[in-house]
Structure 1
Amino acid sequence: MPNGSLDQHLFRKNDSQHHQILQWETRYTYNVIMDVAAGLHYVHHEYERVVLHRDIKASNIMLDAAFHGRLGDFGLARVIAFEKTSFTDIGVSGTWGFIAPEYAVSHKATRNTDVYAFGVLILEIVTGKTSLGAADSTFLLLLDWVWWLHGEARLLEAVDDDLISDGEFDADDAIRLLLLGLACSDPNPSHRPSMVKVVQVIANTMPPPDVPLTKPSFMWPPEGHQLALSQDSDDNGGDDFVQTDHRDSDVRNQWEEVQNSDGLATSIRSSEITKRKTTRNVAETHVTRDIESGVL
Protein backbone atom coordinates (compact mmCIF):
# COMPACT_ATOMS: atom_id res chain seq x y z
CA MET A 1 0.00 0.00 0.00
CA PRO A 2 1.33 3.49 -0.87
CA ASN A 3 1.18 4.83 2.68
CA GLY A 4 2.30 1.74 4.52
CA SER A 5 0.62 0.57 7.70
CA LEU A 6 -1.34 2.52 10.28
CA ASP A 7 1.17 1.99 13.11
CA GLN A 8 3.87 3.84 11.15
CA HIS A 9 1.76 7.00 11.28
CA LEU A 10 0.37 6.65 14.79
CA PHE A 11 3.50 5.70 16.70
CA ARG A 12 6.24 7.91 15.31
CA LYS A 13 8.91 7.63 18.02
CA ASN A 14 12.32 7.21 16.34
CA ASP A 15 10.58 7.51 12.97
CA SER A 16 13.50 7.76 10.55
CA GLN A 17 11.17 7.87 7.53
CA HIS A 18 9.17 10.84 8.87
CA HIS A 19 5.73 9.38 8.25
CA GLN A 20 2.89 11.85 8.09
CA ILE A 21 0.94 12.52 11.28
CA LEU A 22 -2.67 11.48 10.75
CA GLN A 23 -4.97 14.37 11.58
CA TRP A 24 -8.49 13.93 12.90
CA GLU A 25 -10.27 14.04 9.56
CA THR A 26 -7.99 11.27 8.30
CA ARG A 27 -8.35 9.08 11.37
CA TYR A 28 -12.09 9.50 11.61
CA THR A 29 -13.88 11.62 8.99
CA TYR A 30 -11.91 10.06 6.14
CA ASN A 31 -12.79 6.71 7.58
CA VAL A 32 -9.69 4.89 8.73
CA ILE A 33 -11.84 3.67 11.60
CA MET A 34 -14.98 3.27 9.50
CA ASP A 35 -13.11 1.44 6.74
CA VAL A 36 -11.70 -1.10 9.16
CA ALA A 37 -15.08 -1.48 10.86
CA ALA A 38 -16.74 -2.08 7.49
CA GLY A 39 -14.14 -4.72 6.59
CA LEU A 40 -14.63 -6.53 9.89
CA HIS A 41 -18.41 -6.27 9.55
CA TYR A 42 -18.08 -7.89 6.13
CA VAL A 43 -16.13 -10.93 7.31
CA HIS A 44 -18.32 -11.32 10.41
CA HIS A 45 -21.78 -10.79 8.92
CA GLU A 46 -21.76 -10.55 5.11
CA TYR A 47 -19.33 -13.16 3.81
CA GLU A 48 -20.93 -16.53 3.10
CA ARG A 49 -19.27 -17.98 6.22
CA VAL A 50 -18.11 -16.27 9.39
CA VAL A 51 -14.42 -15.41 9.27
CA LEU A 52 -12.46 -14.58 12.41
CA HIS A 53 -9.46 -12.33 11.75
CA ARG A 54 -7.76 -13.04 15.12
CA ASP A 55 -4.96 -10.48 14.78
CA ILE A 56 -6.49 -7.01 14.45
CA LYS A 57 -3.88 -4.34 15.24
CA ALA A 58 -2.48 -1.14 13.75
CA SER A 59 0.37 -2.86 11.88
CA ASN A 60 -2.21 -4.99 10.05
CA ILE A 61 -4.16 -1.95 8.81
CA MET A 62 -2.82 -0.80 5.47
CA LEU A 63 -3.33 2.72 4.11
CA ASP A 64 -3.94 3.41 0.43
CA ALA A 65 -3.03 6.57 -1.47
CA ALA A 66 -6.02 8.43 0.00
CA PHE A 67 -5.30 7.14 3.54
CA HIS A 68 -8.31 4.85 3.55
CA GLY A 69 -7.79 1.93 5.93
CA ARG A 70 -7.73 -1.63 4.65
CA LEU A 71 -7.95 -4.64 6.93
CA GLY A 72 -5.04 -6.88 5.98
CA ASP A 73 -2.94 -9.88 7.01
CA PHE A 74 -5.39 -12.76 7.21
CA GLY A 75 -2.58 -15.18 8.07
CA LEU A 76 -4.19 -16.16 11.39
CA ALA A 77 -7.77 -15.93 10.12
CA ARG A 78 -10.09 -18.90 10.46
CA VAL A 79 -13.24 -19.70 8.50
CA ILE A 80 -15.96 -21.03 10.79
CA ALA A 81 -18.17 -23.95 9.82
CA PHE A 82 -21.82 -23.12 9.14
CA GLU A 83 -23.07 -24.80 12.31
CA LYS A 84 -20.48 -23.20 14.57
CA THR A 85 -19.71 -19.86 16.18
CA SER A 86 -16.12 -20.33 17.36
CA PHE A 87 -12.69 -21.74 16.67
CA THR A 88 -10.67 -23.39 19.43
CA ASP A 89 -6.88 -23.16 19.43
CA ILE A 90 -4.33 -25.37 21.12
CA GLY A 91 -2.54 -22.22 22.25
CA VAL A 92 -3.15 -18.48 22.03
CA SER A 93 -2.71 -16.66 18.73
CA GLY A 94 -2.56 -12.94 18.16
CA THR A 95 -0.86 -10.01 19.85
CA TRP A 96 -0.83 -9.22 23.56
CA GLY A 97 -2.72 -6.07 24.35
CA PHE A 98 -5.37 -7.09 21.82
CA ILE A 99 -6.19 -10.55 23.20
CA ALA A 100 -9.57 -10.84 24.88
CA PRO A 101 -9.37 -12.30 28.38
CA GLU A 102 -11.83 -15.10 27.68
CA TYR A 103 -9.72 -16.22 24.70
CA ALA A 104 -6.58 -16.30 26.86
CA VAL A 105 -8.47 -18.59 29.25
CA SER A 106 -10.47 -20.81 26.91
CA HIS A 107 -8.46 -20.57 23.66
CA LYS A 108 -11.83 -20.13 21.96
CA ALA A 109 -11.91 -17.39 19.31
CA THR A 110 -15.26 -15.83 18.40
CA ARG A 111 -16.56 -12.69 16.76
CA ASN A 112 -16.50 -11.18 20.24
CA THR A 113 -12.74 -11.68 20.50
CA ASP A 114 -12.29 -9.77 17.22
CA VAL A 115 -14.54 -7.00 18.57
CA TYR A 116 -12.34 -6.76 21.65
CA ALA A 117 -9.24 -6.24 19.51
CA PHE A 118 -11.05 -3.68 17.38
CA GLY A 119 -11.97 -1.76 20.54
CA VAL A 120 -8.31 -1.58 21.54
CA LEU A 121 -7.46 -0.43 18.01
CA ILE A 122 -9.98 2.43 18.31
CA LEU A 123 -8.30 3.52 21.55
CA GLU A 124 -4.88 3.46 19.86
CA ILE A 125 -6.12 5.57 16.96
CA VAL A 126 -7.72 8.23 19.17
CA THR A 127 -4.95 8.37 21.77
CA GLY A 128 -1.94 7.85 19.53
CA LYS A 129 -0.55 5.41 22.11
CA THR A 130 0.24 1.72 21.84
CA SER A 131 -1.88 -0.87 23.61
CA LEU A 132 0.91 -1.85 25.99
CA GLY A 133 3.06 0.27 28.28
CA ALA A 134 2.95 3.65 26.57
CA ALA A 135 -0.04 5.40 28.13
CA ASP A 136 0.97 5.94 31.73
CA SER A 137 3.57 4.51 34.10
CA THR A 138 0.78 3.34 36.42
CA PHE A 139 -1.06 1.31 33.79
CA LEU A 140 0.41 -1.45 31.68
CA LEU A 141 -2.63 -1.56 29.41
CA LEU A 142 -3.84 1.43 27.39
CA LEU A 143 -7.37 0.14 28.02
CA ASP A 144 -6.98 0.50 31.80
CA TRP A 145 -5.63 4.05 31.49
CA VAL A 146 -8.53 5.19 29.31
CA TRP A 147 -11.04 3.52 31.63
CA TRP A 148 -9.46 5.30 34.61
CA LEU A 149 -9.77 8.67 32.83
CA HIS A 150 -13.41 7.84 32.07
CA GLY A 151 -14.06 7.21 35.76
CA GLU A 152 -12.41 10.53 36.61
CA ALA A 153 -14.58 12.39 34.06
CA ARG A 154 -11.40 13.31 32.16
CA LEU A 155 -11.92 11.22 29.04
CA LEU A 156 -10.85 13.97 26.63
CA GLU A 157 -7.39 13.92 28.22
CA ALA A 158 -6.86 10.61 26.44
CA VAL A 159 -6.97 12.24 22.99
CA ASP A 160 -3.66 12.34 21.12
CA ASP A 161 -1.78 15.59 21.82
CA ASP A 162 -1.07 15.97 18.10
CA LEU A 163 -4.81 16.16 17.46
CA ILE A 164 -5.42 18.66 20.24
CA SER A 165 -2.59 20.95 19.12
CA ASP A 166 -3.94 20.84 15.58
CA GLY A 167 -7.29 22.04 16.91
CA GLU A 168 -9.35 20.33 14.23
CA PHE A 169 -10.65 17.32 16.12
CA ASP A 170 -14.29 17.11 17.19
CA ALA A 171 -14.63 16.58 20.95
CA ASP A 172 -18.04 14.90 20.67
CA ASP A 173 -16.76 12.47 18.05
CA ALA A 174 -13.67 11.74 20.14
CA ILE A 175 -15.74 10.95 23.22
CA ARG A 176 -18.11 8.77 21.20
CA LEU A 177 -15.20 6.78 19.79
CA LEU A 178 -13.45 6.42 23.14
CA LEU A 179 -16.67 5.15 24.71
CA LEU A 180 -17.14 2.76 21.81
CA GLY A 181 -13.57 1.51 22.22
CA LEU A 182 -14.20 0.85 25.90
CA ALA A 183 -17.49 -0.92 25.19
CA CYS A 184 -15.89 -3.14 22.55
CA SER A 185 -13.06 -4.09 24.92
CA ASP A 186 -15.27 -4.82 27.90
CA PRO A 187 -13.69 -7.78 29.76
CA ASN A 188 -16.93 -9.75 29.45
CA PRO A 189 -17.81 -10.81 25.89
CA SER A 190 -21.58 -10.72 26.37
CA HIS A 191 -21.37 -6.98 27.09
CA ARG A 192 -19.61 -6.09 23.82
CA PRO A 193 -21.56 -4.73 20.84
CA SER A 194 -21.64 -6.61 17.56
CA MET A 195 -19.97 -5.12 14.51
CA VAL A 196 -23.44 -4.24 13.24
CA LYS A 197 -23.91 -1.85 16.16
CA VAL A 198 -20.30 -0.69 16.02
CA VAL A 199 -20.72 0.50 12.44
CA GLN A 200 -23.91 2.35 13.39
CA VAL A 201 -22.20 4.14 16.28
CA ILE A 202 -19.26 5.17 14.11
CA ALA A 203 -21.67 6.45 11.45
CA ASN A 204 -23.46 8.40 14.20
CA THR A 205 -26.79 6.74 13.45
CA MET A 206 -27.10 5.50 17.00
CA PRO A 207 -25.74 6.87 20.30
CA PRO A 208 -22.59 5.49 21.89
CA PRO A 209 -23.12 2.61 24.31
CA ASP A 210 -23.45 3.20 28.03
CA VAL A 211 -20.09 2.46 29.61
CA PRO A 212 -19.68 2.01 33.38
CA LEU A 213 -17.32 4.42 35.11
CA THR A 214 -15.33 1.53 36.53
CA LYS A 215 -13.90 -1.25 34.41
CA PRO A 216 -15.99 -4.40 35.03
CA SER A 217 -14.34 -7.43 36.55
CA PHE A 218 -13.65 -10.33 34.24
CA MET A 219 -16.13 -13.08 35.09
CA TRP A 220 -14.96 -16.65 34.49
CA PRO A 221 -16.71 -18.87 33.68
CA PRO A 222 -19.28 -16.60 31.99
CA GLU A 223 -22.53 -16.33 33.89
CA GLY A 224 -24.72 -19.32 33.12
CA HIS A 225 -22.13 -21.13 31.04
CA GLN A 226 -19.13 -23.40 31.44
CA LEU A 227 -16.91 -22.92 28.39
CA ALA A 228 -15.22 -25.95 26.93
CA LEU A 229 -11.44 -25.96 27.13
CA SER A 230 -10.93 -29.07 25.01
CA GLN A 231 -8.54 -28.44 22.15
CA ASP A 232 -10.66 -30.67 19.94
CA SER A 233 -14.03 -28.99 20.52
CA ASP A 234 -13.70 -27.10 17.24
CA ASP A 235 -13.84 -30.45 15.43
CA ASN A 236 -16.78 -31.88 17.34
CA GLY A 237 -19.66 -29.99 15.87
CA GLY A 238 -20.18 -26.82 17.77
CA ASP A 239 -19.68 -24.35 20.55
CA ASP A 240 -20.26 -26.86 23.33
CA PHE A 241 -20.19 -26.17 27.03
CA VAL A 242 -18.80 -28.52 29.64
CA GLN A 243 -18.27 -28.56 33.38
CA THR A 244 -15.03 -26.79 34.27
CA ASP A 245 -12.62 -27.72 37.03
CA HIS A 246 -9.83 -26.15 39.08
CA ARG A 247 -7.72 -25.63 35.96
CA ASP A 248 -10.04 -22.80 34.87
CA SER A 249 -9.12 -20.68 37.88
CA ASP A 250 -5.45 -21.54 37.37
CA VAL A 251 -5.56 -20.25 33.81
CA ARG A 252 -7.45 -17.14 34.89
CA ASN A 253 -4.74 -16.45 37.46
CA GLN A 254 -2.12 -16.86 34.76
CA TRP A 255 -3.96 -14.30 32.61
CA GLU A 256 -4.07 -11.85 35.51
CA GLU A 257 -0.33 -12.36 36.05
CA VAL A 258 0.30 -11.76 32.36
CA GLN A 259 -1.63 -8.48 32.49
CA ASN A 260 0.69 -7.23 35.24
CA SER A 261 3.98 -8.65 34.01
CA ASP A 262 6.75 -6.29 32.93
CA GLY A 263 8.17 -9.04 30.77
CA LEU A 264 5.04 -9.37 28.69
CA ALA A 265 5.75 -10.54 25.16
CA THR A 266 4.45 -8.09 22.59
CA SER A 267 3.47 -10.68 20.04
CA ILE A 268 2.73 -14.38 20.10
CA ARG A 269 2.28 -15.90 16.73
CA SER A 270 0.48 -19.16 16.14
CA SER A 271 3.54 -20.41 14.28
CA GLU A 272 5.29 -20.42 17.65
CA ILE A 273 2.68 -21.99 19.90
CA THR A 274 -0.12 -23.46 17.78
CA LYS A 275 0.01 -26.69 15.78
CA ARG A 276 -1.65 -26.06 12.46
CA LYS A 277 -3.56 -28.74 10.69
CA THR A 278 -2.22 -29.04 7.16
CA THR A 279 -5.44 -30.02 5.47
CA ARG A 280 -7.31 -27.12 7.07
CA ASN A 281 -4.65 -24.63 6.03
CA VAL A 282 -4.64 -25.77 2.40
CA ALA A 283 -8.41 -25.38 2.18
CA GLU A 284 -8.45 -22.03 3.96
CA THR A 285 -5.67 -20.49 1.85
CA HIS A 286 -8.08 -20.16 -1.07
CA VAL A 287 -10.79 -18.69 1.16
CA THR A 288 -8.33 -16.20 2.67
CA ARG A 289 -7.31 -14.96 -0.79
CA ASP A 290 -10.97 -14.58 -1.66
CA ILE A 291 -11.65 -12.53 1.47
CA GLU A 292 -8.60 -10.30 1.10
CA SER A 293 -9.52 -9.48 -2.47
CA GLY A 294 -12.92 -8.32 -1.21
CA VAL A 295 -11.72 -6.41 1.85
CA LEU A 296 -8.53 -4.80 0.57
Structure 2
Amino acid sequence: MILVYEYMPNKSLDCFLFEPNQKHVLDWNKRIHIISGFAQGLLYLHQYSRLRIVHRDLKASNILLDADMNPKISDFGLARIFGGNEMQANTKRIVGTYGYMSPEYAMEGLFSVKSDVFAFGVLMLEIISGKKNTGFYGSEYLCLLRYAWDLWKKGCVDELIDPTTLELLKSWSSVAMRYVQISLLCVEENPVDRPLICDVVAMLNNDKRAIQTPRNLTLTVGRALVAQREVEICSIQDMTMSHVEAR
Protein backbone atom coordinates (compact mmCIF):
# COMPACT_ATOMS: atom_id res chain seq x y z
CA MET A 1 0.00 0.00 0.00
CA ILE A 2 1.41 3.38 -1.02
CA LEU A 3 -0.05 6.77 -0.06
CA VAL A 4 0.68 9.29 -2.81
CA TYR A 5 0.70 12.99 -1.90
CA GLU A 6 0.99 16.09 -4.02
CA TYR A 7 4.62 17.22 -3.87
CA MET A 8 4.94 19.99 -1.28
CA PRO A 9 8.43 21.52 -1.64
CA ASN A 10 8.19 23.66 1.51
CA LYS A 11 7.53 20.66 3.73
CA SER A 12 5.35 21.42 6.77
CA LEU A 13 4.51 24.57 8.68
CA ASP A 14 6.52 23.60 11.76
CA CYS A 15 9.73 23.63 9.69
CA PHE A 16 9.36 27.42 9.42
CA LEU A 17 7.28 28.38 12.44
CA PHE A 18 9.44 26.88 15.17
CA GLU A 19 12.89 27.04 13.56
CA PRO A 20 14.81 30.21 14.57
CA ASN A 21 16.65 30.35 11.25
CA GLN A 22 13.48 30.02 9.18
CA LYS A 23 11.00 32.24 11.05
CA HIS A 24 11.84 35.28 8.93
CA VAL A 25 10.35 33.55 5.87
CA LEU A 26 6.91 33.82 7.46
CA ASP A 27 6.20 37.54 7.39
CA TRP A 28 2.82 38.78 8.61
CA ASN A 29 1.21 38.60 5.15
CA LYS A 30 2.24 34.95 4.75
CA ARG A 31 0.94 34.08 8.20
CA ILE A 32 -2.44 35.61 7.41
CA HIS A 33 -2.44 33.75 4.10
CA ILE A 34 -1.71 30.43 5.86
CA ILE A 35 -4.37 30.99 8.53
CA SER A 36 -6.95 31.83 5.86
CA GLY A 37 -6.06 28.83 3.70
CA PHE A 38 -6.08 26.51 6.70
CA ALA A 39 -9.53 27.78 7.70
CA GLN A 40 -10.85 27.25 4.15
CA GLY A 41 -9.53 23.68 4.13
CA LEU A 42 -11.19 22.91 7.45
CA LEU A 43 -14.43 24.50 6.21
CA TYR A 44 -14.42 22.08 3.29
CA LEU A 45 -13.95 19.07 5.59
CA HIS A 46 -16.69 20.16 7.98
CA GLN A 47 -19.28 21.56 5.61
CA TYR A 48 -18.67 21.09 1.89
CA SER A 49 -17.29 17.56 1.71
CA ARG A 50 -19.84 14.90 0.71
CA LEU A 51 -19.22 13.32 4.11
CA ARG A 52 -18.40 15.46 7.15
CA ILE A 53 -14.82 14.76 8.29
CA VAL A 54 -13.37 15.47 11.73
CA HIS A 55 -9.58 15.44 11.47
CA ARG A 56 -8.73 14.95 15.18
CA ASP A 57 -5.00 15.67 14.79
CA LEU A 58 -4.58 19.19 13.47
CA LYS A 59 -1.13 20.61 14.26
CA ALA A 60 1.71 22.50 12.59
CA SER A 61 3.45 19.37 11.30
CA ASN A 62 0.23 18.29 9.55
CA ILE A 63 -0.08 21.54 7.59
CA LEU A 64 1.95 21.12 4.39
CA LEU A 65 3.09 24.08 2.27
CA ASP A 66 3.35 24.11 -1.50
CA ALA A 67 5.76 26.20 -3.59
CA ASP A 68 3.62 29.31 -3.07
CA MET A 69 3.25 28.69 0.68
CA ASN A 70 -0.38 27.63 0.26
CA PRO A 71 -1.36 25.38 3.19
CA LYS A 72 -2.80 21.90 2.73
CA ILE A 73 -4.18 19.79 5.56
CA SER A 74 -2.53 16.37 5.65
CA ASP A 75 -2.40 13.10 7.64
CA PHE A 76 -5.94 11.78 7.89
CA GLY A 77 -4.91 8.62 9.71
CA LEU A 78 -6.91 9.61 12.80
CA ALA A 79 -9.82 11.27 10.99
CA ARG A 80 -13.41 10.18 11.53
CA ILE A 81 -16.25 10.40 9.04
CA PHE A 82 -19.60 11.60 10.32
CA GLY A 83 -22.69 10.42 8.48
CA GLY A 84 -26.04 12.13 8.02
CA ASN A 85 -26.77 14.65 10.74
CA GLU A 86 -24.22 13.20 13.15
CA MET A 87 -22.41 16.02 14.97
CA GLN A 88 -20.67 14.31 17.89
CA ALA A 89 -19.17 10.95 18.75
CA ASN A 90 -17.54 9.27 21.72
CA THR A 91 -14.45 7.08 21.99
CA LYS A 92 -12.62 5.28 24.77
CA ARG A 93 -9.32 5.61 22.93
CA ILE A 94 -7.95 9.14 22.87
CA VAL A 95 -5.86 9.86 19.79
CA GLY A 96 -4.27 13.14 18.91
CA THR A 97 -1.47 15.39 20.05
CA TYR A 98 -0.77 16.97 23.42
CA GLY A 99 -1.56 20.67 23.40
CA TYR A 100 -4.12 20.51 20.59
CA MET A 101 -6.79 18.29 22.17
CA SER A 102 -9.98 19.95 23.34
CA PRO A 103 -10.88 19.45 27.02
CA GLU A 104 -14.08 17.49 26.35
CA TYR A 105 -12.12 15.10 24.14
CA ALA A 106 -9.21 14.65 26.53
CA MET A 107 -11.47 14.25 29.58
CA GLU A 108 -14.52 12.40 28.22
CA GLY A 109 -13.60 11.12 24.77
CA LEU A 110 -16.21 13.37 23.14
CA PHE A 111 -15.21 14.77 19.77
CA SER A 112 -16.97 16.84 17.14
CA VAL A 113 -16.30 19.57 14.61
CA LYS A 114 -15.77 21.84 17.63
CA SER A 115 -12.77 19.68 18.60
CA ASP A 116 -11.13 20.63 15.31
CA VAL A 117 -12.06 24.27 15.90
CA PHE A 118 -10.23 24.11 19.23
CA ALA A 119 -7.09 22.76 17.54
CA PHE A 120 -7.46 25.45 14.87
CA GLY A 121 -7.48 28.12 17.60
CA VAL A 122 -4.34 26.69 19.19
CA LEU A 123 -2.52 26.56 15.86
CA MET A 124 -3.69 30.07 15.00
CA LEU A 125 -2.07 31.36 18.20
CA GLU A 126 1.10 29.45 17.37
CA ILE A 127 1.23 31.03 13.91
CA ILE A 128 0.74 34.51 15.38
CA SER A 129 3.31 34.11 18.16
CA GLY A 130 5.82 31.67 16.67
CA LYS A 131 5.67 29.74 19.96
CA LYS A 132 4.58 26.17 20.67
CA ASN A 133 1.55 25.76 22.89
CA THR A 134 3.38 23.19 25.01
CA GLY A 135 6.67 25.07 25.33
CA PHE A 136 5.89 26.94 28.54
CA TYR A 137 6.84 24.40 31.20
CA GLY A 138 8.88 25.90 34.01
CA SER A 139 7.39 29.37 33.52
CA GLU A 140 4.44 31.02 35.25
CA TYR A 141 2.26 30.01 32.30
CA LEU A 142 1.25 26.41 31.70
CA CYS A 143 0.73 26.93 28.00
CA LEU A 144 0.55 29.47 25.20
CA LEU A 145 -3.21 29.77 25.67
CA ARG A 146 -2.87 31.17 29.18
CA TYR A 147 -0.08 33.51 28.06
CA ALA A 148 -2.17 34.82 25.15
CA TRP A 149 -5.27 35.17 27.33
CA ASP A 150 -3.45 37.31 29.91
CA LEU A 151 -1.89 39.56 27.26
CA TRP A 152 -5.23 39.99 25.50
CA LYS A 153 -6.98 41.00 28.74
CA LYS A 154 -4.21 43.53 29.43
CA GLY A 155 -4.44 44.93 25.91
CA CYS A 156 -0.82 43.96 25.26
CA VAL A 157 -1.33 41.79 22.18
CA ASP A 158 1.79 43.24 20.53
CA GLU A 159 3.86 41.31 23.09
CA LEU A 160 2.38 38.08 21.75
CA ILE A 161 3.36 38.68 18.13
CA ASP A 162 6.41 36.86 16.82
CA PRO A 163 9.28 39.42 17.09
CA THR A 164 10.46 38.58 13.56
CA THR A 165 7.30 40.23 12.17
CA LEU A 166 7.03 43.22 14.51
CA GLU A 167 8.75 45.71 12.20
CA LEU A 168 6.16 45.04 9.49
CA LEU A 169 3.25 44.93 11.92
CA LYS A 170 2.78 48.63 12.70
CA SER A 171 -0.07 48.96 10.21
CA TRP A 172 -1.51 45.57 11.21
CA SER A 173 -1.97 46.07 14.97
CA SER A 174 -5.79 46.13 14.79
CA VAL A 175 -5.74 43.02 12.60
CA ALA A 176 -3.47 41.25 15.08
CA MET A 177 -5.83 42.12 17.94
CA ARG A 178 -8.76 40.76 15.92
CA TYR A 179 -6.97 37.53 15.03
CA VAL A 180 -5.99 36.89 18.65
CA GLN A 181 -9.58 37.46 19.74
CA ILE A 182 -10.85 34.99 17.12
CA SER A 183 -8.31 32.37 18.19
CA LEU A 184 -9.32 32.77 21.86
CA LEU A 185 -12.96 32.22 20.90
CA CYS A 186 -11.93 28.97 19.23
CA VAL A 187 -10.36 27.64 22.44
CA GLU A 188 -13.29 28.37 24.75
CA GLU A 189 -13.65 25.62 27.36
CA ASN A 190 -17.29 24.85 26.52
CA PRO A 191 -17.61 23.64 22.90
CA VAL A 192 -21.02 25.34 22.68
CA ASP A 193 -19.26 28.70 23.07
CA ARG A 194 -16.82 28.02 20.23
CA PRO A 195 -17.74 29.22 16.74
CA LEU A 196 -18.21 26.85 13.83
CA ILE A 197 -15.46 27.03 11.25
CA CYS A 198 -17.86 28.75 8.82
CA ASP A 199 -18.24 31.56 11.37
CA VAL A 200 -14.46 31.70 11.82
CA VAL A 201 -13.98 32.11 8.06
CA ALA A 202 -16.59 34.88 8.02
CA MET A 203 -14.82 36.69 10.88
CA LEU A 204 -11.44 36.37 9.17
CA ASN A 205 -12.76 37.68 5.85
CA ASN A 206 -14.91 40.54 7.15
CA ASP A 207 -13.17 43.02 9.42
CA LYS A 208 -16.52 44.79 9.98
CA ARG A 209 -18.17 41.70 11.45
CA ALA A 210 -18.70 41.91 15.21
CA ILE A 211 -16.76 39.41 17.32
CA GLN A 212 -17.88 38.15 20.71
CA THR A 213 -15.67 38.61 23.73
CA PRO A 214 -14.01 35.35 24.90
CA ARG A 215 -15.38 34.33 28.28
CA ASN A 216 -14.08 31.05 29.62
CA LEU A 217 -10.70 29.99 28.32
CA THR A 218 -9.37 26.48 28.83
CA LEU A 219 -6.34 27.14 31.02
CA THR A 220 -5.22 23.55 31.52
CA VAL A 221 -4.48 21.78 28.26
CA GLY A 222 -2.11 18.91 27.60
CA ARG A 223 -0.56 16.26 29.82
CA ALA A 224 -2.07 17.46 33.09
CA LEU A 225 -5.56 17.42 31.61
CA VAL A 226 -5.21 14.09 29.85
CA ALA A 227 -3.68 12.48 32.93
CA GLN A 228 -7.05 12.74 34.71
CA ARG A 229 -8.49 10.08 32.39
CA GLU A 230 -7.07 6.59 31.92
CA VAL A 231 -6.75 6.44 28.17
CA GLU A 232 -4.30 5.34 25.53
CA ILE A 233 -2.47 8.27 23.96
CA CYS A 234 -1.63 7.53 20.35
CA SER A 235 0.15 10.72 19.40
CA ILE A 236 2.82 12.98 20.87
CA GLN A 237 4.08 16.37 19.73
CA ASP A 238 6.31 15.27 16.89
CA MET A 239 4.79 12.00 15.75
CA THR A 240 1.38 10.54 15.02
CA MET A 241 0.67 6.82 15.54
CA SER A 242 -2.49 5.40 14.02
CA HIS A 243 -4.30 2.17 14.97
CA VAL A 244 -5.78 0.52 11.89
CA GLU A 245 -9.12 -1.21 12.47
CA ALA A 246 -11.37 -2.85 9.88
CA ARG A 247 -14.66 -1.09 9.26
When normalised by structure 1's length, the TM-score is 0.71
Q: Could you tell me whether the CA contact under 8 Å between 1:3 and 1:63 is conserved in 2?
A: yes
2:135 paired residue number: 133
| 1:5 matches 2:12 | yes
Could you say what secondary structure the match of 2:145 adopts? helix
Change (3 A) 1:19 1:130: closer
Measured after TM superposition, the shift of residue 56 of structure 1 is 0.7
Instruction: Give the equivalent residue in structure 1 for 2:212.
Output: 209
Question: Hey, what does 1:93 align to over in structure 2?
Answer: 95
Which of residues 45, 51, 54 in structure 2 aligns to 1:52? 54
Letter in 1 for 2:29: E
Deviates more, 1:68-77 or 1:161-170: 161-170
Deviation of 1:217 (Å) = 7.7
Tell me whether 1:26 sits opposite 2:30 in the alignment. yes
Tell me, what secondary structure is at the counterpart of 2:135?
strand
Cα contact 1:24–1:169 (8 A) shared by 2: no
1:202-241 residue pairs with structure 2 within 5 A? 202-204=204-206, 206-212=209-215, 215=217
| Cα distance in 2 between the residues matched to 1:136 and 1:67 | 34
Alignment of 1:39-118 (within 5 A): 39-118=41-120
TM-score under structure 2 length normalisation: 0.84
CA distance change for structure 1 residues 124 and 159 in 2, over 3 Å: closer, same or farther?
Answer: same
Structural RMSD (CA): 2.5
Show CA shifts across 1:116-150 (max 9, x none): 00000100000010111249821121111101112
Distance change (3 Å), C-alpha of 1:83 and 1:208: closer
For residue 48 of structure 1, report the CA deviation from its aligned partner: 1.6
Alignment identity in percent?
33
**Secondary structure of 1:25 counterpart:** helix
- Alpha-carbon distance in 1 for matches of 2:189, 2:145: 10
Structure 1, unpaired ranges of 5+: 219-253, 259-264, 281-296
- Look up the match of 2:39: 37
Question: Is the alpha carbon distance of 1:168 and 1:277 closer, same or farther for their aligned partners in structure 2, counting shifts above 3 Å?
Answer: same
Q: Which amino acid aligns with 1:210?
A: T
The aligned residue for residue 195 of structure 1 is: 197
Q: Distance in 1 between matches of 2:55 and 2:226?
A: 24
- Aligned pair in 2 of structure 1 residues 124, 142: CA closer, same or farther (>3 Å)? same
Residue 136 of structure 1 contacts residue 145 of structure 1 at CA under 8 Å; is this kept in 2?
Answer: no
Q: Is the 8 A contact 1:3 1:62 kept in 2?
A: yes
Q: List gaps (5 residues or longer) in structure 2.
A: 1-7, 229-235
Instruction: Go from structure 1 to structure 2 and tell me whether the alpha carbon gap of 1:171 and 1:217 turns closer, same or farther (over 3 Å shift).
Output: closer
Structure 1 CA distance for aligned equivalents of residues 219 and 37 of structure 2: 31
1:215, distance to aligned residue in structure 2 (A): 3.3
Determine the C-alpha separation between the residues in 1 that align with 2:134 and 2:148: 12
Aligned to 1:185: 187
Range 96-105 or range 202-211, more displaced: 202-211
User: 1:267, 1:138 → 2: CA distance?
Assistant: 24
